Amino acid sequence: MGRRSDFAFIVCETLNWVAVKAVVKQGRLLPTCFTNLIIGTVNLGMANPSFKDCIAKNIKSCTFKVSPSQTADGSEPFFELSAFSEVARHAANIDKVSRELNVDADLIRSIMYMETTHGYYDAPLSLFGANKSILPMNVNVAYWGDTFGTRKDLQKPYENIRAGGMILQRIVSNLPVGASVSQIATLYNNINASTVSDYGARVQRIYETKPWLKMENVDNNPLTGQGGTVRNRRY
């Protein structure tokens, strides 16, 4: 709410009814004053949704802003284990989700590659259902709850990949057209981020180099890795 509405609201709130009636008789000011009073009252009860709510409730009118970073490091860290990549294993589901949600398949592949080659640290916890995030898209059930499916649902590869795809779709919908992979990925990792992170920079590099092309699926058929640039559309 702007200063003008705030001022009008305060004035209208403090005016006594005698003064208001006098204004009515004069036929001046009341329409504006009354209108601003109503608008101000309504606006007071309509706080901007959190970034989390924008994603969870699929609000498409939010405005996400992620500033570029000159220091974000997109290089391959020593603990990134390419052998743990699950991109090849889930090739069919990735393509299916990409078509259903109109999300760039290579963007999904890049996030999955990042998560499966980095996110193996809590694999032992998954044996006891104690892991906060579930691979291959590393959907954080501790944070999102059942928004994108229950823990049981997200243990199914297709449901998990679709959940990750939905998060990506909703992030893209609230970013400016032409947002970079690094900006999208940064928010996937931390929805409240305001500057491109190392995570975002690394996913950008993965998207550009497509390391999954070096891998082959279980049938020894090389992945095409088609996808090109991110199709940043309003969904």
The 10s digit of each residue's pLDDT in 138-197 is: 999 999 999 999 999 999 999 999 999 999 999 999 999 999 999 999 999 999 999 999
pLDDT band for position 46 (cuts 50, 70, 90): low
User: 202 and 153, same structural domain?
Assistant: yes
Look at residue 231 and tell me if it is in a domain: no
User: 118 and 39, same structural domain?
Assistant: no
- Extended beta strands in 62-156, E state: 133-134, 139-140
User: 97 and 62, same structural domain?
Assistant: yes
Q: How many domains does the chain have?
A: 2
Look at residue 225 and tell me if it is in a domain: no
Distance from the Cα of residue 24 to its chain's centroid:
49
Task: With a cut of 80, say whether residue 137 has pLDDT above it.
Answer: yes
User: 57 and 33, same structural domain?
Assistant: no
Inter-axis angle of helices 17-26 and 30-44, nearest 10: 130
Look at residue 224 and tell me if it is in a domain: no
Domain of residue 105, CATH code: 1.10.530
Task: With a cut of 90, say whether residue 67 has pLDDT above it.
Answer: yes
Peptide bond into 136 cis (omega under 30): yes
CB 203 within 8 A of CB 111: yes
CB 176 within 8 A of CB 55: no
Single out the residue in 28, 44, 60 at which a domain terminates. 44
Which residue in 25, 31, 21, 27 sits closest to 8, CA to CA? 31
Instruction: Give pTM, 2 decimals.
Output: 0.75
Domain range enclosing 183: 51-214
The pLDDT of residue 4: 39
